[in-house]
Amino acid sequence: MGYSDVDTLAINTIRILAADATFKSNSGHPGAPMGMAPVAHVLFNKIMNYNPKNSKWVNRDRFVLSNGHACMLQYALLHLCGYKVSMDDIKSFRTVDSVCPGHPEAHDTDGIEVTTGPLGQGFSNAVGLAIAQHHAAAEFNKPGFEVINNYTYTFLGDGCMQEGVASEAASLAGHLQLGNLIAIYDDNHISIDGDTNCSFTEDVIKRFEAYGWHCETITDGDDGLQNIEDAIKKCQAVKDKPSMIKLRTIIGFGSKLEGTHSVHGSPLKADDIKQLKTKWGFDPEKSFIVPQDVYDLYNKKGAEGAALEKEWEQMLTKYTESHKSEAADLKRRLAGDLPEGWEKNLPVYSPSDSAVASRKLSEIVLQKIHAAIPELVGGSADLTGSNLTRWKEAVDFQPPSLGIGDWSGRYIRYGVREHAMGAIMNGLAAYGTVLPYAGTFLNFVSYAAGAIRLSALSQVRVIWVATHDSIGLGEDGPTHQPIETLAHFRALPNCMVWRPADGNETSAAYYVALTSKHTPSVLALSRQNLPQLENSTIAHAIKGGYVVHENEKADITLVSTGSEVGICVDAVKYLKEKHNLAARVVSMPCFEVFDAQDKAYRLSILPDGIPSLSVEVMSTMGWERYTHEQFGLNRFGASGPYLDVYKKFEFTPEGISKRAVATVDFWKDVPNIRSPINRAFQQLI
Amino acid sequence: MGYSDVDTLAINTIRILAADATFKSNSGHPGAPMGMAPVAHVLFNKIMNYNPKNSKWVNRDRFVLSNGHACMLQYALLHLCGYKVSMDDIKSFRTVDSVCPGHPEAHDTDGIEVTTGPLGQGFSNAVGLAIAQHHAAAEFNKPGFEVINNYTYTFLGDGCMQEGVASEAASLAGHLQLGNLIAIYDDNHISIDGDTNCSFTEDVIKRFEAYGWHCETITDGDDGLQNIEDAIKKCQAVKDKPSMIKLRTIIGFGSKLEGTHSVHGSPLKADDIKQLKTKWGFDPEKSFIVPQDVYDLYNKKGAEGAALEKEWEQMLTKYTESHKSEAADLKRRLAGDLPEGWEKNLPVYSPSDSAVASRKLSEIVLQKIHAAIPELVGGSADLTGSNLTRWKEAVDFQPPSLGIGDWSGRYIRYGVREHAMGAIMNGLAAYGTVLPYAGTFLNFVSYAAGAIRLSALSQVRVIWVATHDSIGLGEDGPTHQPIETLAHFRALPNCMVWRPADGNETSAAYYVALTSKHTPSVLALSRQNLPQLENSTIAHAIKGGYVVHENEKADITLVSTGSEVGICVDAVKYLKEKHNLAARVVSMPCFEVFDAQDKAYRLSILPDGIPSLSVEVMSTMGWERYTHEQFGLNRFGASGPYLDVYKKFEFTPEGISKRAVATVDFWKDVPNIRSPINRAFQQLI
C-alpha cells in the first residue's frame, strides 16, 4: 500500500491531540498515545474493517485498548474515523458528563467496545470477544456465507502484561487456538515506577510462545509503518494461534521528556507542546487542530468501511433468504431479546417435592432452558462437577483439532482461572451473540472482583453460578466458606446478588438474571439440600422479597435468604411451642430487586409495628437496611460436616428462636415500631 | 544416601493415612497426597532442615502446600515428623475444632507456615517467605555467622499453575533471582474437570524459564526417589534463580482409580483401600497404622533436626556476643514487638497546620518511623509516586547484580501485580522478621481480595496503603473510583479498614495497624488535600470513632470518615445559619476498632435521643449499623475534577445539610430515639 507524508501527518496529529487534551484537562496520560500513534494509525487506517456510521455492525473488527489510560489515543482515532466523538467532546476530556471520560467507558461512548482502564481487563475482554467471534462463525457461517469473520485487536502495555488476569486469559487463548485474535504489546520499557527493569525482566515473547501464541517483534515502532503493517498481516495469516506483536516504542515520542516515566501520567508542559507542534509543522499557537488532509484520509477509510458493511448487508439479505431461521436468530440475539416463550421451560416446584440443593436446582434450570436459549454459553473454572453448570448434551467449545469439542460448543472449560473467566465473560457479552454464565465456588468469585466490577459498570449481562455459598459447604472449611462475599457484591452498584431458598426461587433468579439486559448477576447456591417452601412461587420470588409464612398477629418477622429460610420456617414452630410467640417469615432472595419494588409493596413485606430479625449465615453487613436486628456470622467459619457447623454457630430453630425472643423483648417497649423501609430521603442512584 | 524398603514403607504409610482419613471423614482429597507422597517423603526425611519440637525456629526450612486440598499429606507428615499432630487429630480430620481442618490453617496447627487452599496463594506466599529469607540473611548474617540460610519449598498443582496470582508471583520471583526458593509442580495431568488437556496445554517449563527460573523435569515421580533427591539438590545449588521441578506423578497412586479425576476430591471406596493395604503389606482390616520402622525413621530425622537447631543456637550465642544489637533486634522482631518508643516518631498536627492529602500524611508517617522500625518493608504495585509509599532514603530490595538495589533493601517494586503483592505480604509476615506494607489505589486492592481474605483468616499483620480512595480521585473516573470496596473489607472478619480524616487520624491509623499483631489493615487515603480538624488527636482516633465537633443541644449527629469529615464540619455552620439546626460531628475512621470499645463509650459518641446521618462518598452499606440515615453513593462515580464530581453528587455543605434537614424532620415525631448502638443481642464473633 505504501505510506506517505499524510500518514506521518496523521500520526503527529493524533500525538498532538493527545498532548493538547491532557494539557487542557491538566490530567491524563499523553505518553502511551504519543508512542502508540503509529501502530494505531496503521491499524485504524489500513487494516481494520469497521463502519464509523454504524458502530454496532456485528462483523466489524473489534478493538480493545487494554491500557485504557491511553484513551486519548482512542478518542482521537474515534474522532478522525468519524464516530460520534466531536472535537468539542475531545476538548471536554476528563470533565463531568463528557463522552471522553478518564478511561474508556463502553456504554457512554460510540465506538468503544468494552470499558477498560483497570489493567489486564481489556486484554482478557479481547479474548472473550475472540471466543465469541469463533463461536458465532461456527454457528452462523454457512457455505458461501461468511457472515462472521472479524478480527479482534487489542493494545496492551507493561501493566496488562504483569497482571495475573491477563496471564490467565493468555494461557486459555493459546489453548483455544484463537486465530483471529491479535494483541499488540507496547514495549516502551517504562512503567510508573520508572524503568521496567525494576520489576519486569521476563522474556515476554518466550512466555507467550509457551502459551501457544504466534509472536512477532517490531523494533522500529515509532516510524516503521510498513513493518507494522506487514507484521499484522503475518499474524492475520496464522489461523490456528492467537498472535502477539511486541512493538518497541518510545513513550511520549517527540516530547522533550520522551522515553521517561514523566510523560506517562502527567500532561506535557506548554513549551514542550509548542516545540512538538513546531517540529512537526503545526502552528504552535493553535490547539486541537486536525489538518484537512488527515480528515480526508480518514473519511476515505470511513467510506470504505461503509461500503464494506453495505456489501455485507447485501450478503446477509441473500443469507436471510436461504437461512431464514439463522438470520432471525442472529438479529434477535443482537437485540438482546430472548426467544419468545423460553420461560415456559423454567421448572416449577410444589412443597411436596423433595429437598434439592440449589446448585442442583440450577443445573435443572440449565438443562431445561438450554435448548430454548441458543445464545446461552456456559462454563466453569474447573469445578464443573461441583458447580453443576453443564447440561448433559453440552458440547465443549474447543478447537476441533483437539478432538474434544468444536467451535460451536456451548461449554467453556475455563480452567482454574476465575478472574480471566469473569473478564472473558464481559467480552463474550460485549460481542452481542452470546449470553454467558459460568461457575465457581462463591468464595472464589472474589478472585474475579476486578472483572465483575466492570460487568456492573459497563452494564453487561453475565451470570455467575456461585455454588457452595456458605458454611453449608461444610468440610472444606473457612478457607472456602464465604462470609463477606455477599455484602461485597450487594454493595456493588448495578449487580444483582441472588440467594434462592428453593426450586421456584432458583427459577426466579434465572428469570430475572436472563431478562436483565444491562445487569450482571451472582447466583449464590447451596451445596446442601433445601426443602421446597410453602408459598414460594416464581411470581413471588421475582419481586426480590416476599412472605413465605404469613401470620397476621405476628410478634416478629424473620427475614432470611437461601438455606436459612427453611430453618426459619422450622423456627416458627419452635417459637410458638416453646415461647408462645407468633412469627412470620420473609424470604429475600435479592436485595437489589426488592429495592426496585414500590414502597407500598416493600412495606407490606416488612411492615411497621413488628420487630424484625434477619437470619443469614454470613456477614450481617447490609441487613440493617431491612431489619431491626441481625443474626449472622461476623467471623470465619469452621471445617466439619455442615450440620455440625450450623450447630456450632447456632443456626438452628433453637438458636434462631433465642435471638427472636431477645428481639421481641428488646423492642416491646417501643411504640409504633417503624419498619426500616421508611427512610428520611431517597438515596442517590 | 540411598533409599531402602523402609522409605517405600514410609511413602505407602503416608498414602494409606491419606486414604484412611478421607474415608473416615467421608470427605477430602486423597489423590494428590497419594501421588505426592514420594516427593514429600524425600523432602521431609532427607532434605529439609527443621526441628519438630520447635516449629518456630527462625532458620528452619519453610514448606508450603500450595495445593492445600492435599492437606492430609501435610498432616500425615507433621504427625510422622513429631509435630503436635497426634493420630487422634488425624482421625478427627475435617471435623469441627480439629487441628486437621479441611485445608491447612496456620494459626491452628503446629508446623503449618501459612494458610492455603485457595489456589495460587500458597505458591505466592512461598515467594514472600523466600524474599523475607533473602532479606533477613542480608540484614543479620555477618562474616562467620550464617544465621539465616534456609530454603523455602512449595508444592503446587495444576490449579495453582493456572491462577493469575501465581503467575504474577512467579514473574517477580524470577526477576528477584530468589535462589533459595524451590517449587515442585505436581504434573499429574488431572484437574477436577478431567484431563488438563481440556483447558491447560501450555508449556509450563518454557513459561517458567521465560520468567527467569531454573527448571528440572522428573518423569518418574512415583518411585524415582533418588532422582527426586538429585533434582532438588541441583536446584539448591542454583543460587541466582528460583527453581521449579516438574514432577510427573499419578494422582491417587495405588488406587484402582489412579490417574483419574475420581480420586481427586472424593474418598476411595472401602474395597479400594483394602486392596491398597494388602498390596503394600498392611493389614487390610486396620486403619490409621504407622509401622514402628517408619516412626523410627522419622524420629531419627527429628533428632537430627533438633541437633541442627542446637548447633545453630550455639552459633547464635556467639553471634550475640559479637553482634549484640543485631541479635536483640532479631529476637524482638520474632516476638512481633515493635522497638520501644517508636511511636514518639508519629507526627502530630494542630488545626492551624495546612491541609494535606492523607496519602501525603501517610508518606510523612513512613518517613518519620522507618528508622525506628527496621522490620518495616514497603512497596507498591507500580504506583510509588502516587501511593507515596517510599521514604526518601529507601534502598530497593533487588538482586545486587542488577545494580539498582540490594538484598537488604526495604522497598519492593512489586510491579503491576496487586494480587501477588497481597499474597507475598502474607508470606513476608509469616516469616517473622518483616512487617510488610504496600500501596496501590484502593479500587485495585479488590484485585487482591483472595489474598487479603487469607491475611485476615491467618491473622497476619500486613498493611495496605490504599490511596485514591474515592470519587475524590477525580479525573480517572468511575473505573478507578471505589464504591463497594470499603463495605467489602469492613464485612471481612478480622480486617481493619481505616479512612483517616486528617494528620492525627493518619498517625492513629498507623499506630493501631502497626501494633495489631494479628490483624491486617487497609488504610484508605485521599488523593486530595484535607484540613486538620479541631479535636482530632491520636488518642481520640485510636478509639475508632470520636467527636470532632460537640454540641450539647444538637438536633442531629453527622457521622463521617476521611475526606467528608471536613465537609461535615463546614455543614455545621451552614445548618446553623440557614436552618437554625445544631449539629455535632463524629469522625469514625475505623468501624472495627470503634466496635471494640465498651458500650458506654460508643453510646457517648452516638447517643440516644438524637437522630444521626452518615456521610461517606461510597456505598452506604454497613452504615445502618451506626446511624439512622445514610448519605452515600450507591452508584458509580464520574470522571472530572474532584470538586466538580463532589458537587455533581451533592457532597457539599449544602447537599449534606439538605439530608440533615430531612433526617431531623423524619425523626422529630419519634419519642426517645434509640441509638443504633443498642442491640437486642450480641453478635457471634
Nearest CA in chain A to B389: A193
What domains, with CATH codes, occur in chain A?
5-307 (3.40.50.970), 342-530 (3.40.50.970), 542-667 (3.40.50.920)
SS3 content of chain A, % helix, strand, coil (to 5): 45, 15, 40
Q: Check A105 against B477: CB less than 8 A apart.
A: yes
Write the single-letter amino acid at A42. V
Average pLDDT over residues A71-85: 98
> What is this structure's pTM?
0.98
From chain A, the residues in CB contact with B422 under 8 A are none
Residues 6 or more apart in contact with residue A507 via CB below 8 angstroms: A346, A347, A348, A361, A365, A538, A541
Nearest to B622 among A449, A453, A621 (CB): A621
CB of B468 within 8 Å of a chain A CB? The answer is no
Q: Check A493 against B116: CB less than 8 A apart.
A: no
Helices (H), A282-381: 292-322, 324-335, 358-369
Q: Check A621 against B491: CB less than 8 A apart.
A: yes
For residues B684 and B640, which has the higher predicted lDDT (pLDDT)? B640
* DSSP H or E stretch at residue B22: helix B5-25
pLDDT for B682 equals 86
What is the interface size between A and B, counted as CB pairs within 8 Å? 428
For B2, left (φ over 0), alpha (ψ -120 to 50), or beta? left
* pLDDT tens digits, one per residue of B229-260: 999 999 999 999 999 999 999 999 999 999 99
Q: How far apart are CA B360 and CA B349, in angstroms?
A: 13
Q: How far is B1 from chain A (nearest CA, A)?
A: 37
Q: What is the number of H-type helices and E-type strands within chain A?
A: 25, 20
* pLDDT tens digits, one per residue of A140-186: 999 999 999 999 999 999 999 999 999 999 999 999 999 999 999 99
pLDDT for A685 equals 60
By CB atoms closer than 10 A (0-12, 13-18, 19+), residue A479 is: buried
pLDDT for A101 equals 97
Question: Is residue B555 a contact partner of residue B613, using CB atoms and an 8 Å limit?
Answer: no
Q: What is the ipTM of this complex?
A: 0.98
* pLDDT tens digits, one per residue of A601-628: 999 999 999 999 999 999 999 999 999 9
**Is the pLDDT assigned to residue A135 strictly greater than 60?**
yes
| Cβ-based neighbour number of residue B604 at 10 Å | 13
Q: DSSP string spanning A545-570? A: -EEEE--TT-SEEEEE-THHHHHHHH
CA distances from B68 to A101, A477, B49, B101, B154 (A): 43, 12, 22, 11, 11
Q: How far is B210 from chain A (nearest CA, A)?
A: 5
Cell digits for A166?
Answer: 491477563
Tell me how far apart the terminal alpha carbons of chain B are, to the nearest angstrom: 52
Label residue A682 by pLDDT band (50, 70, 90): confident
Radius of gyration of chain A (CA): 28
Mean pLDDT, rounded, of chain B: 97
Q: How far is B416 from chain A (nearest CA, A)?
A: 5
Average pLDDT over residues A336-363: 98
Q: Any known ligand binding at B118?
A: yes
Q: How far is B641 from chain A (nearest CA, A)?
A: 7
Nearest to A638 among B96, B117, B450 (CB): B96
Cell digits for B370?
Answer: 522507618
Which DSSP symbol is given to B45?
Answer: I
Cell digits for B507?
Answer: 498517625
**Nearest Cα residue to B12 out of B251, B224, B235, B254:** B254
Nearest to A493 among B28, B483, B489 (CB): B483
* pLDDT tens digits, one per residue of A487-503: 999 999 999 999 999 99
**Nearest Cα residue to A102 out of B540, B240, B527:** B527
Q: Does residue B229 carry a catalytic annotation?
A: no
A positions 158-177 inside 8 Å of B (CB): 158-160, 162-168, 171-172, 174-175
From chain A, the residues in CB contact with B198 under 8 A are 396, 398, 404, 413
Q: How far apart are CA A453 and CA B636, in angstroms?
A: 10
pLDDT for B685 equals 60
Whose grid coordinates read 516545540? A275
Percentage of the residues of chain A whose pLDDT score is greater than 90: 98
**Is the pLDDT assigned to residue B1 strictly greater than 60?**
no
Nearest CA in chain A to B204: A210
| Cβ-based neighbour number of residue B46 at 10 Å | 17
Question: Is residue B64 a contact partner of residue B122, using CB atoms and an 8 Å limit?
Answer: yes
Q: How far apart are CA B214 and CA B234, in angstroms?
A: 10
**Nearest Cα residue to A259 out of A186, A195, A193:** A195
By CB atoms closer than 10 A (0-12, 13-18, 19+), residue B380 is: buried
pLDDT for A2 equals 85
Average pLDDT over residues A356-379: 98
Q: Check B94 against A639: CB less than 8 A apart.
A: yes
| Cβ-based neighbour number of residue B499 at 10 Å | 31
CB of A395 within 8 Å of a chain B CB? The answer is no
Q: How far apart are CA A61 and CA A304, in angstroms?
A: 14
pLDDT for B192 equals 87
CB of B417 within 8 Å of a chain A CB? The answer is yes
Which of B418, B564, B592, B629 is an active site residue?
Answer: B418
Q: Any known ligand binding at B29?
A: yes
Percentage of the residues of chain B whose pLDDT score is greater than 70: 100
**Is the pLDDT assigned to residue A1 strictly greater than 90?**
no
Mean pLDDT, rounded, of chain A: 97
Sheet with A62-65: strands ordered across: A62-65, A152-156, A181-187, A243-248, A214-218
* pLDDT tens digits, one per residue of B30-69: 999 999 999 999 999 999 999 999 999 999 999 999 999 9
3-class DSSP assignment, residue B271: helix
Q: How far apart are CA A153 and CA B635, in angstroms?
A: 31
Of the residues B652, B681, B682, B685, the best mutation for testing chain A's interface (the one with the most A CB atoms within 10 Å of its CB) is B681
CB of A609 within 8 Å of a chain B CB? The answer is no
* pLDDT tens digits, one per residue of A308-348: 999 999 999 999 999 999 999 999 999 999 999 999 999 99
CB of B152 within 8 Å of a chain A CB? The answer is no
Question: Is residue A530 a contact partner of residue A355, using CB atoms and an 8 Å limit?
Answer: yes
| Cβ-based neighbour number of residue B73 at 10 Å | 29
* pLDDT tens digits, one per residue of A404-436: 999 999 999 999 999 999 999 999 999 999 999
Q: How far is B395 from chain A (nearest CA, A)?
A: 12
**Is the pLDDT assigned to residue B358 strictly greater than 70?**
yes
CB of A553 within 8 Å of a chain B CB? The answer is no
* pLDDT tens digits, one per residue of A368-378: 999 999 999 99
Question: Is residue A33 a contact partner of residue A267, using CB atoms and an 8 Å limit?
Answer: no
Q: Check A674 against B674: CB less than 8 A apart.
A: no
* pLDDT tens digits, one per residue of A44-59: 999 999 999 999 999 9
CB of A649 within 8 Å of a chain B CB? The answer is yes
pLDDT for B683 equals 79
CB of A293 within 8 Å of a chain B CB? The answer is no
**Is the pLDDT assigned to residue B179 strictly greater than 60?**
yes
Question: Is residue A135 a contact partner of residue A178, using CB atoms and an 8 Å limit?
Answer: no
pLDDT for B466 equals 98
**Is the pLDDT assigned to residue A200 strictly greater than 60?**
yes
CB of A682 within 8 Å of a chain B CB? The answer is no
Positions of A marked catalytic: 418
**Is the pLDDT assigned to residue B108 strictly greater than 90?**
no
* pLDDT tens digits, one per residue of B302-324: 999 999 999 999 999 999 999 99
Q: Any known ligand binding at B490?
A: no
